[in-house]
Every structure is written in C-alpha cells, then in structure tokens.
Chain A
Amino acid sequence: MSRTDIEHLRRRARRHHRASRVAVYLLAVLAALGAAGPFIWAGITAFKENRDLYRRSNNPFLFNLTPTSEHVSYLFNSTDFPTFVWNTLWVGLLVTAITLGLGLPAAYSLARLDRPWSGPMAIAIFFVYLVPPTLLFLSLSRVVVAAGLQDRTWSLVLVYPTITIPVSVWLLMGFLRSIPKDIEEQAMVDGYSRLGAFVRIVVPLMFPGVVAVVVFAFTLTASEFIYALAFVSPSGEKPISTGVPTALVRGDVFFWQSLQAATILVAVPIALIFNLFLERFIAGFTHGAVKG
C-alpha cells in the first residue's frame, strides 16, 4: 500500500469518526427533546397567566406576560396535593416493603432451594404478571369491601403487591443467579443454618437487586391508575395518579397550569432517583432475566 493510500484512509477514518460523533450528539438531543418535550413545555405552562395561556395567537413556548407562581401556590394551598403526595409515598414504601418481604424469600426458594416444582412455579408466578388489573378489579373490589377497606388508601396497600410481587420475584431470581452458590454453602459449613446463611450472607449480597426492586416497585405503584380509580373516591385518601386529575379537573374546567405544575413536581424526583439506580437496574436484567 502506498503512502498516499494510507494517508487517504486515515483522513477518511477521521472524517467518518467526526461524522459519527455529530450523529450521536444529534440523536441524543433529539431523543431528549422527544421524551422530555411535553415536560419542558409543561414547565413553561405552569407559570403562565391565564390571559397568556388562553390566547390562540400567543407563542405557547414563551412567556408573553410575566410569569406567575399563583397556580403553583393554588396547587399547594387549595388542593389536597400534599396529601396525595404523602399517600403515594407511604403506599409506595409500604408496598415496596411488603414486596421485598414476600419476594426475597420466594425468589430464594425458587432459585436456590431447588425443589422439583421450582421451575414450573417460577413460570406460574411470571404468568400472574399477565393477569391484567382490568380483569381483576371487578372482583377485587369485592375483596376490598370484604376487608372493610373500601374508600381507604389501605385498600391500595392490599392490592398493589399483586402487580409488584411477580415482577420482583423474577428480577430477584436474576440477581440470585449472579451470586455464587459456594458463598452460602461456605456460610453453612462455617456454622450457620440455611436460614442464617440467607439472612447474613445472601441478603447483604443481594443489595443491588433489592435497590432495583425498590425503584421498580415504587415506580409501578406510583403509576397505578385503575385500582386507585376504582377503589378510592374520597379526595383525602387518593394517591397522586387519581387525586391530581380529580382535584384539578372539574367537569369541563381544567386547571391547566396547576396540573402541569403537579406533573413536573412528581415526574422530576422519581426520574432522578430512577436515573441514579439505572445501572443497577440494568445489571439486574442482565444477570437473570436474560439468561433465565
């Protein structure tokens, strides 16, 4: 190969490299705008005056009048928004705790204790995930009534684990497979019972998986809509996902700015936390779900 050929190739490679960098940045910005566009715009809308917002010819992406925070303060002072947030928070945490409490031992039993029925049972639990809430809520409402929990936030604590447990068991089994069996057997030889090895060695080593499940279960719980809509009607008992729409949509009247403010206030913290644990979450999928 002659020198000019090499020089030519090198130049081409450099050009190619530069083009691909530009493409990556371009696509990244596009993706970010596509995904977050509605939120960015909602962020602007939340601070608009009514006269600014409800005018067809105004540029919807700019403040045509000075921004106002009156709609945000309306959200906090004249609606039950803080209560909704609080409800979502404690329901989410409680459901996550129940999910882990039931899911960790179940995943361990299925992945490690290796009974003949473990495989079929794991598949059965996965299929539970396929039973949609829309199919269950009619009869679950009977269960909720029987438990005396109708119109109480507690009814959600009762039913939400039906959504979170199957997925969590699945994810946790994946994480368990990534922990070498040797380590817990070593603990058993070192003087612990199977239960002791589980509590002292397996659970601490499962920490990344636990984090992934916490984030996933919390997100699922916070997003849930059907059960919350069907089981809880008093405003003070509602979580965010049904509370905000009912408090800020009165018949045909939408309190748009306050709605948008609520959306941003809820969306940003959850996404931040999820992003923080994204790597762990991905690790969970690679370890198990894929190879499982």
Chain B
Amino acid sequence: MTERSLSPPRGSGQGDAVPPQAPAPVDLRVRRRFADRDRLLAWVFLLPSIGYIVALVAIPFFLAIAFSFSDVTAGDPSFDWAGLRNYQNVFDDPVFWRSLRNTIVFTVVSMALIVVLGKVLANILIADFRGKWLVRFLVLLPWTTPVALSTIAWLWLLDSVFSPIDWVLRELGVIEANMYWLGKPDLAIGSVIVVHVWRLVPLAAVIMMAGLVAIPKDVQEAASVDGAGFWRRMFEITIPLTMPIIAVAALFGAILTFTDMAVVYVLTRGGPTNSTQVLASWAFFRGIEGGDVGQGAAIALFLFPLLLAAAIAILRAVRRMDVS
C-alpha cells in the first residue's frame, strides 16, 4: 500500500505555509434549535393536520349532533332547541326503518361478495399470463371512474326499455317482456348491490394483492414440497396468512358501501317508493332537498355508531389475528 496523506486536504488558499488547524472538538455555536427538538417538532408537524381535522371534521361533527336537537331548516337557519322531536319524527317514519334495514342489508351482502370476488380477482391478477397489463387496466376501471359516471353507465345498462341485458335475455328466449330492473323493489335492491360490488371488487382485489405479495415465498414453496395442492395451499396457508389484510379489504368495502349515497341517488333515487332508500340518501333527501336540516342530521347520525362498532370489531379481529 502506498503512503497516503493522513491529514485531510485544507482549503487551497491557505497554502502549505499554514499548518493544518485541528478543528474544535465541538461546535459550541450550534444550540439546540427548534429544528432539533423532537418533542416540539412532533407537535409542529402534527398540528396542521390536527387543526384542519378539528376545524372541518370535529366541529362539524358536533354541529351535526347539535342540529339533530334543533329546528334548523333551510328556510329558517336560526338555531332553536327542539329536544328529541327530530328523533321522534324520524323514528315515526317507516322510511327511516326501511333505510336502516337497507343500509345494513346492502353493506353485509355486498361486503361478503366483495371479499369473495376480490380474493378471486386478486389471485388472478398476481398470476403470470400474457396481457396482464391490459387485464389489470380493464379491471381497475370500475374503481377509478367517478362513481356518479359509472353509475350512469349502469343506469343505461338497466334501462326499462333499451337495456342490453334485457335484449340478450329476450334473444335467448329467457324472458318475454323487459325486466324493469329498477322498477321492481326486489330487482332494484339487487341492482344496487350489483353496482356496489362491481365498483368495489377492484379495490378489494388491489388491497388483497398487497397481502398475497407479502407472503414469504418459502412458506408457499415449503407447502408445495410437502405435497399440498392448490386448494389446500389456498385454505391452509394463503387465506390464514392474509386474513388481516382480507379484513382490511372488508373494512374498506364496508365503509365505502355503508356511507355511499351516490349509487342509490343516481340509480334509483331511493325508489321505487323508497324501497332502495339508505340512511345516507335518506338524510340527503330530508336534509338538503327537503330542507329539514335537523331531521337530516338525526338520520345521518345513525351512520356513525354503526360504522364505529363495525370498524372496531374488524380492527380487533385483525389485531387478534396478528398476535397469533
């Protein structure tokens, strides 16, 4: 090894005449400033988000609770205490109970379908095949399209006169007359669920793909070597290992179905005769279109505790699975 300079080069201006000055062991000019204080920084970094959330979520949230106890309407925005009258009116209205039931039915049924189909779709999308990019692109369309627009596409698909689904069924001789998908309560409920499932399966699949990708390869391979076939691997390894993320996908599916009103609003406007009304749309019709802000708030408030309970249950389940 050749002899190398062991002292670092100094600035060229100083020349060789000046002996290298050893730097001070500490730089005493530097004091712990704001940018070094973790405790302070932790707050400063978080504060804008917290401030924003308090101003635009927390305060409106409590305002909504206050509205539900008031007689505020679109025409008379002054706040007067109304006690439980709004709740009384809401509970006396059969449409509310119908909406509550629909909300729960839509959510539970579509969540189950979303999880199952999402799981299948995720497995297809991580498989190797030609044209995967195109398939992924096509599969993503329902989720990435603004929900109002994609629902309009379905509105035409389910049209009472020109529905191409009816056309196919007619050509096949399955039906004589059109189905009136959105005109009959049972079919309308089915249609709403189908649109929800169609829209959210891609999201669930993407989330579940994340879980599938995260399974260590050696676990899969070990199972293969042990002679486990596809289905056995699926039910004894893949699904148990990805259970937490399947639950996350279910949670997202549930939240997005539960709180959504766009599909119902565009597809059926709650009809026929309120048979597809959900809490979200009913609150909108009452609160904004009907102008009865107090009642609208009272209806919408029912969304939160239900959602909270569902979310806590799912997150608990996820945590328990994580530990085991």
Residues in A lying within 8 Å of B, measured CB to CB: 20-21, 24-25, 27-29, 31-32, 34-36, 38-39, 41-42, 45, 53-54, 56, 59-61, 101-103, 105-106, 108-110, 113-115, 118, 121, 125, 127-143, 158-159, 161-162, 165-166, 169, 193-196, 219, 222-223, 225-226, 229-230, 240-242, 244-245, 249, 254, 256, 259-260, 262-263, 266-268, 270-272, 274-275, 278, 281-286, 289-290
- Interface contact A25-B129, CB-CB below 8 Å: yes
- Interface contact A245-B206, CB-CB below 8 Å: no
B85 interface contact, C-beta 8 A: no
CA distance A283 to B55 in the complex (A): 32
- Interface contact A260-B153, CB-CB below 8 Å: yes
Of B49, B145, B280, B293, which is within 8 A of A267 by CB?
B145
- Interface contact B152-A259, CB-CB below 8 Å: yes
Which B residue's beta carbon lies closest to that of A145? B77
- Interface contact B141-A27, CB-CB below 8 Å: no
Interface residues in B116-155 by Cβ distance below 8 A to A read 120-121, 124, 127, 129, 131-150, 152-155
Which A residue's beta carbon lies closest to that of B49? A106
User: Within the complex, what minimum Cβ distance (angstroms) separates A91 from chain B?
Assistant: 12
Known contacts A31-B139, A127-B308, A132-B303; A24/B124 CB under 8 A: yes
Residues from chain A with a CB closer than 8 A to the CB of B148 are 223, 225, 241-242, 244-245
Binary contact readout B170-202 vs A (1 if CB under 8 angstroms, 0 otherwise): 000000000000000000000000000010011
- Interface contact A135-B141, CB-CB below 8 Å: no
CA distance A113 to B161 in the complex (A): 61
CA distance A127 to B37 in the complex (A): 29
CA distance A115 to B201 in the complex (A): 38
Binary contact readout B267-311 vs A (1 if CB under 8 angstroms, 0 otherwise): 000000000000110011001100001001100110110011001
- Interface contact B211-A290, CB-CB below 8 Å: yes
CA distance A25 to B296 in the complex (A): 49
Residues from chain B with a CB closer than 8 A to the CB of A130 are 255, 304, 307-308, 311
CA distance A28 to B135 in the complex (A): 7
Residues from chain A with a CB closer than 8 A to the CB of B83 are none
Residues from chain A with a CB closer than 8 A to the CB of B293 are 138
- Interface contact A281-B147, CB-CB below 8 Å: no
- Interface contact B147-A290, CB-CB below 8 Å: no
- Interface contact A132-B124, CB-CB below 8 Å: no
Residues from chain A with a CB closer than 8 A to the CB of B137 are 271-272, 275
Residues from chain B with a CB closer than 8 A to the CB of A25 are 129
User: Within the complex, what minimum Cβ distance (angstroms) separates A13 from chain B?
Assistant: 11
Closest 4 CB pairs of A and B: A132-B259, A285-B210, A105-B45, A139-B63
- Interface CB pairs A-B, < 8 A, 13: A105-B46, A106-B45, A125-B53, A132-B303, A134-B279, A139-B63, A139-B64, A161-B56, A241-B148, A244-B148, A244-B152, A249-B152, A271-B141
User: Within the complex, what minimum Cβ distance (angstroms) separates A241 from chain B?
Assistant: 4
Residues in B lying within 8 Å of A, measured CB to CB: 33-39, 41-46, 48-50, 52-53, 55-57, 59-61, 63-64, 67, 120-121, 124, 127, 129, 131-150, 152-157, 161-162, 164, 167, 198, 201-202, 206-207, 209-211, 213-214, 230, 244-245, 248, 255, 258-259, 261-262, 265-266, 279-280, 283-284, 287-288, 293, 296-297, 300-301, 303-304, 307-308, 311
CA distance A260 to B131 in the complex (A): 26
User: Within the complex, what minimum Cβ distance (angstroms) separates B194 from chain A?
Assistant: 11
- Interface contact A41-B164, CB-CB below 8 Å: yes
Known contacts A225-B262, A289-B248; A35/B49 CB under 8 A: no
User: Within the complex, what minimum Cβ distance (angstroms) separates A156 from chain B?
Assistant: 12
Contacts beyond the supplied A39-B153, A166-B53, A267-B144: 13 A-B pairs with Cβ under 8 Å: A102-B48, A103-B49, A106-B48, A109-B43, A109-B46, A132-B259, A135-B283, A135-B297, A136-B57, A158-B56, A225-B146, A241-B149, A259-B156
Residues from chain B with a CB closer than 8 A to the CB of A128 are 53, 57
Known contacts A134-B284, A245-B148; A260/B156 CB under 8 A: yes
- Interface contact B139-A36, CB-CB below 8 Å: yes
Residues from chain B with a CB closer than 8 A to the CB of A32 are 134-135, 138-139
Majority-rule SS of B interface residues:
helix
Known contacts A135-B303, A271-B141; A140/B259 CB under 8 A: no
- Interface contact B147-A241, CB-CB below 8 Å: yes
Residues from chain B with a CB closer than 8 A to the CB of A241 are 146-149, 262
User: Within the complex, what minimum Cβ distance (angstroms) separates A168 from chain B?
Assistant: 10
CA distance A38 to B258 in the complex (A): 24
Residues from chain B with a CB closer than 8 A to the CB of A158 are 56
CA distance A140 to B38 in the complex (A): 35
- Interface contact A138-B287, CB-CB below 8 Å: yes
Which B residue's beta carbon lies closest to that of A262? B149
- Interface contact B146-A136, CB-CB below 8 Å: no
- Interface contact B53-A162, CB-CB below 8 Å: yes
CA distance A254 to B250 in the complex (A): 35
Residues from chain A with a CB closer than 8 A to the CB of B49 are 102-103, 105-106, 125, 165, 169
Most B CB atoms within 10 A — which of A101, A138, A259, A289? A138
Most A CB atoms within 10 A — which of B41, B52, B55, B148? B148
CA distance A166 to B58 in the complex (A): 13
CA distance A31 to B137 in the complex (A): 11
Of B43, B52, B146, which is within 8 A of A102 by CB?
B52
CA distance A63 to B95 in the complex (A): 44
Residues from chain B with a CB closer than 8 A to the CB of A283 are 210
